[in-house]
């Protein structure tokens, strides 16, 4: 349910003695040694339970069916991207990068426009129509006035784990307070000078919203990562997927930059945003490639590497007894 410092708060499938539903658990060392990282939303196996103290240890990690890498949430069934219409002002490029991060999970992606009360109705509706052209059906909400809260609760009450993510300051904690008033999560105002949100949520945590439905509140951040492979960027855009469903590009490695034989074509709203993200992804791949070429050749060439003392002892046990030659005179 939550990661708090070196501890994990685990919700039990079946309550224990005295109807205990949660345990505060540590992680077995072997999980880290085998490279298994535990995330909020993971299904785990617990042993070494101390029922009176409500403690245990996570011994095994069950396979995941999805993973949102940033913020790290496992087994989510939908990702809800929340952005504000104003304060801070909606940035189409930033929103696009958040949508790309959500699309990479392979689960359903939904879009929520918060602070709808800060814009005239006509301007808010214009944003909705534009985002529908991107392939999303946004929901207008206002935590202050209660607009759209019931519709949002209905969407999030479906069984599974819904992840609420977005930039800092868009009102994610305010939305959760409107959905679950008993939590009384801390909220902060947007910085007046920079028009950026202040970080109020420090960790990922799951909250029960309905029977079988969990809602993940996540820390806000302002620059999501792009895919490592630039070729994987295009399928993350619903507009590109729609065009490629009817016609294939001439070349299988097409990056959809308007080259001859490209089925995507031009004239779509996010074409410029796609090119910006593609250029960033290509530059990112080039930096990774350059770092690989700058590796020390003496470390790469096995002929130039000196074996370790442990390796020498393994290869020649007699070398362990032979000490260094003392050039000094012995009396």
- Last residue of some domain: 165, 182, 217? 217
Q: Do 99 and 162 lie in a common domain?
A: yes
Residue at 329 is within a domain: no
CATH number for position 166: 3.40.50.300
- Last residue of some domain: 195, 217, 239? 217
pLDDT tens digits, 243-290: 998 889 888 889 998 888 888 888 899 999 999 999 999 998 888 877
Q: Do 132 and 236 lie in a common domain?
A: no
Q: What is the mean pLDDT of residues 60-70?
A: 88
Residue at 50 is within a domain: yes
CA 118 to CA 129: how far, in whole Å? Answer: 18
Q: Do 231 and 272 lie in a common domain?
A: yes
pLDDT at 307: 67
Structural domains of the chain, count:
3
pLDDT tens digits, 4-29: 878 899 999 988 898 999 999 999 98
Strands 7-11 and 22-27: antiparallel
pLDDT at 292: 61
Residue at 330 is within a domain: no
pTM of the model: 0.77
pLDDT at 173: 82
Q: Which of 59-63, 217-221, 257-261, 316-320 has the highest mean pLDDT?
A: 59-63
Residue at 168 is within a domain: yes
Q: Do 156 and 248 lie in a common domain?
A: no
Residue at 323 is within a domain: no
Residue at 327 is within a domain: no
Residue at 282 is within a domain: yes
Termini Cα distance of the chain: 73
Model confidence at 297: pLDDT above 90 = no
Residue at 259 is within a domain: yes
Least confident of 44-48, 244-248, 296-300: 296-300
pLDDT at 234: 92
Model confidence at 325: pLDDT above 60 = no
Q: Do 16 and 145 lie in a common domain?
A: no
Q: Do 212 and 230 lie in a common domain?
A: no
Model confidence at 77: pLDDT above 80 = yes
Q: Do 135 and 260 lie in a common domain?
A: no
pLDDT at 43: 95
Q: Do 72 and 57 lie in a common domain?
A: no
pLDDT tens digits, 179-219: 888 776 655 444 444 444 444 455 788 998 888 899 988 77
What tokens were used for 305? 């590497």
Residues 6+ apart with CB under 8 A from 153: 179, 209
Q: Do 202 and 233 lie in a common domain?
A: no
Peptide bond just before 218 cis, omega within 30 deg: no
Do residues 1 and 205 touch, judged by C-beta distance below 8 A? yes
CA 30 to CA 126: how far, in whole Å? Answer: 53
Do residues 161 and 75 touch, judged by C-beta distance below 8 A? yes
pLDDT at 203: 75
Element (H, E) at 113: strand 108-114
Percentage of residues in the chain having pLDDT higher than 70 = 82
Q: In the structure, what pLDDT confidence band is assigned to residue 60 with cuts at 50, 70 and 90?
A: very high
Q: In the structure, what pLDDT confidence band is assigned to residue 318 with cuts at 50, 70 and 90?
A: low
Do residues 57 and 47 touch, judged by C-beta distance below 8 A? yes
- Last residue of some domain: 160, 183, 217? 217
Q: Do 137 and 230 lie in a common domain?
A: no
What is the C-alpha R_g of the chain?
A: 26
Residue 274: name the closest of 241, 305, 250 by CA.
241
Q: What is the mean pLDDT of residues 34-57?
A: 91
CA 202 to CA 310: how far, in whole Å? Answer: 45
pLDDT at 51: 93
Q: Which residue has the higher pLDDT, 289 or 47?
A: 47
* Domain range enclosing 263: 226-317
CATH number for position 49: 2.40.50
Do residues 75 and 105 touch, judged by C-beta distance below 8 A? no
Q: In the structure, what pLDDT confidence band is assigned to residue 175 with cuts at 50, 70 and 90?
A: confident
Q: In the structure, what pLDDT confidence band is assigned to residue 331 with cuts at 50, 70 and 90?
A: very low
Q: Do 143 and 255 lie in a common domain?
A: no
Model confidence at 295: pLDDT above 60 = no
Backbone dihedral angles phi then psi of residue 49, each to the nearest 5 degrees: -75, 130
Q: Which residue has the higher pLDDT, 319 or 108?
A: 108
Mean of per-residue pLDDT scores for the chain? 83
Q: Do 34 and 130 lie in a common domain?
A: no
């Amino acid at each position: 349910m939550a990661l708090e410092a070196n501890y994990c708060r685990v919700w039990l499938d079946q309550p224990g003695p005295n109807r205990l539903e949660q345990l505060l658990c540590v992680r077995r060392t072997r999980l880290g040694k085998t490279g298994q990282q535990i995330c909020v939303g993971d299904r785990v196996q617990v042993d070494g339970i101390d029922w009176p103290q409500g403690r245990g240890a996570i011994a095994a990690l069950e396979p995941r069916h999805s993973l949102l890498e940033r913020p790290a949430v496992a087994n989510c069934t939908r990702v809800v991207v929340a952005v504000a219409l104003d304060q801070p002002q909606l940035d189409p490029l930033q929103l696009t990068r958040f949508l790309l991060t959500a699309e990479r999970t392979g689960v359903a992606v939904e879009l929520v426009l918060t602070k709808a009360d800060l814009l005239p109705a006509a301007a808010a509706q214009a944003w909705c129509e534009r985002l529908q052209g991107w392939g999303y059906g946004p929901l207008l909400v206002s935590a202050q006035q209660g607009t759209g809260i019931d519709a949002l609760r209905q969407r999030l009450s479906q069984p599974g784990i819904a992840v609420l993510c977005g930039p800092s300051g868009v009102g994610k904690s305010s939305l959760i307070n409107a959905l679950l008033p008993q939590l009384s999560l801390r909220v902060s105002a947007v910085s007046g000078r920079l028009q950026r949100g202040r970080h109020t949520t420090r960790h990922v945590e799951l909250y029960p919203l309905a029977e079988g439905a969990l809602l993940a509140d996540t820390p806000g951040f302002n620059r999501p990562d792009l895919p490592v492979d630039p070729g994987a960027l295009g399928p993350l855009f619903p507009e590109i997927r729609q065009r490629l469903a009817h016609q294939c590009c001439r070349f299988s490695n097409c990056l959809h930059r308007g080259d001859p034989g490209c089925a995507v074509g031009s004239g779509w709203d996010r074409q410029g945003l796609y090119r910006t993200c593609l250029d960033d992804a290509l530059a990112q791949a080039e930096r990774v490639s350059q770092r690989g070429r700058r590796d020390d050749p003496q470390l790469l060439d096995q002929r130039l590497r000196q074996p370790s003392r442990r390796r020498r002892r393994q290869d020649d046990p007699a070398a362990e007894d032979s000490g260094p030659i003392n050039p000094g005179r012995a009396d």
